[in-house]
Amino acid sequence: MPQCIVNRRAQFAASHRYWLPELSEEENFRRFGKGSIFPGHGHNYELFVSMQGEIDPHNGMVLNLSEVKHIIHREVVQHLNFSYLNNVWPEFQASLPTTENIARVIWQRLAPHLPLVNIQLYEHPQLWADYKGNSMEAYLTVKSHFAAAHRLALQTLSLEENTAIYGKCARPNGHGHNYYVEITVKGQIHPRTGMIIDLEKLEEVIKTYVIEPLDHTFLNFDIPYFAEVVPTAENIAVYIQNVLTEPIRELGAELYRVKLTESPNNSCEVFGPSDCPLHELLQQPTSSYAL
């Protein structure tokens, strides 16, 4: 029988605090910001447990999801729900309960009982982590958005020819989108802080290199790179991949994925870091783009 991945969702509400007792109050605040403030803060966590196996030819299931639900509740939810995470499990005293570290520890708790392939944990809809059982390696995703206009057209073609390729998107005055972008980074969980990257610095990098430059722009005119490159969703995703690779690497992690959603019907993803130097992109000459 073919292999199949099944997913089970669970929820819990919990609080936590980013605080290392070996550091002073000032040092904790400098490192963790508002997350260090006593007595902590809380989240409604959303957990997705992914499991893989063969489909049973008799009952048509990979696993009995009622039993899976019971195992997740017994091993995870009943411990974490309405808890102060720093104290609930000894793992969170050794390493802080960040989103990525919580996902890792949940994997450890469930792995003896379920054929896991991924643990995905949402702290809120704009921040989540994935853990796939690979030692201290984890993935962290930040979701953000910007609004921009563009026109899809090749300068070497006529309006009729561009319309044949791009349809309404080739109309001379352009059109706009509310873009949603997901940035996923990969790294090693620090054994003491529980982090693969400084989240505040990551969010600042995304704001500095993506959101602020692209938001409320006409991409063809305002971003030099798109004077020569057609700003399709695919090319915008590649541009974001290019400009973020080096800044994320400087923070000690690696860019893993850029997902760009142009509309509810259209999205694209690119994976891995870019080989294109950042300074080359930011110094592209502006050309005269004729509408």
Positions annotated as catalytic residues are 169, 216, 262
Task: Using DSSP, state whether 195 is helix, strand or coil.
Answer: coil
Please state, in angstroms and as integers, the Cα–Cα distance from residue 135 to each residue in 101, 107, 184, 254, following that order: 11, 11, 18, 17
Please tell me the distance from the alpha carbon of residue 96 to that of residue 103, in angstroms, as a whole number.
12
Query: How far, in Å, CA of 130 to CA of 189, rounded?
Result: 12
| Residues whose CB falls within 8 Å of the CB of residue 160, separated by 6 or more in sequence, listed in order | none
Torsion of CA 243, 246, 249, 254, to 10 degrees: 50
Half-sphere exposure of 89 toward its Cβ, with a 13 Å CA cutoff? 21
In Å, how far are 37, 56, 142, 183, 253 from 202, measured between CA atoms? 20, 44, 9, 10, 10
d(CA 259, CA 115): 28
Helical (H) or strand (E) element with 248:
helix 233-250
- Please provide residue 30's backbone torsions phi and psi, each rounded to the nearest 5 degrees: -65, -35
- For residue 254, give the 3-state DSSP assignment: strand
Q: What are the start-end ranges of the E strands in the chain?
A: 3-16, 41-54, 83-84, 116-124, 127-131, 137-150, 175-188, 217-218, 254-263, 266-271
Pairing mode of beta strands 175-188, 137-150: antiparallel
